Amino acid sequence: MTYAIVVRGEALYGGLVVPRVRPSFKVSNSDLIEFLKDRLRDRAEETQARHQAADQPMYTVYVPDPAGNFNVVVCFEYQEPGVVPIGDVLVKVPKGVYARFAPNGDYHDLVEDVWAQVDDATASAEITRAYREEIEVWHGPESVELFISILV
């Protein structure tokens, strides 16, 4: 297991939402999430005028709600709210401290690899999850990073 403790600045995301999920590789690898990623990619190619490159990273942001559930937003990062497509969910993630995980090759599936590392780090008490926003960053089909909010 390899991870680094990092600070991520505030960020603004806009995209499509799936309500009431539990953060895990099973959600990230689900057919519904893949469908939403494909839809956003197709739309990005159609709407280059929105200052969004089709090759920019795509994000899967897990956002907690007051009831203790998580909603996942499949999205792109934006610099300002005015360029987020109408109808998309807008999420502002505050600056925070995260454990950054990258695949280490223990699993063939990249997203399962990073989530398994989170489970190991949590079980061994190396990190204490804050259960705030958790962010997967997809730099392409073969590159993912996972940022888990932690208590310091």
Q: Is the pLDDT of residue 85 over 50?
A: yes
Q: Which residues pair with 99 in a beta bridge?
A: 5, 148
Q: Is the pLDDT of residue 46 over 90?
A: no
What integer pLDDT is reported at residue 2 of this predicted model? 84
Q: Is the pLDDT of residue 75 over 80?
A: yes
Are 150 and 126 contacting, i.e. CB atoms less than 8 angstroms apart? no
Cα–Cα distance, 104 to 53 (Å, whole number): 28
For residues 30-54, average pLDDT? 78
Band the pLDDT of 51: cuts 50, 70, 90: very low
Helices (H), the chain: 25-28, 31-46, 110-123
For residues 69-86, average pLDDT? 95
Q: Is the pLDDT of residue 143 over 70?
A: yes
What integer pLDDT is reported at residue 39 of this predicted model? 94
Full-model pTM = 0.92
Structure tokens at 110: 């990249």
Cα–Cα distance, 17 to 71 (Å, whole number): 7
Residue type at 137 in one-letter notation: V
What integer pLDDT is reported at residue 5 of this predicted model? 97
Model confidence pLDDT, tens digit, residues 99-127? 999 999 999 999 999 999 999 999 999 99
What integer pLDDT is reported at residue 54 of this predicted model? 52
Domains and CATH numbers, the chain: 3-149 (3.20.80.10)
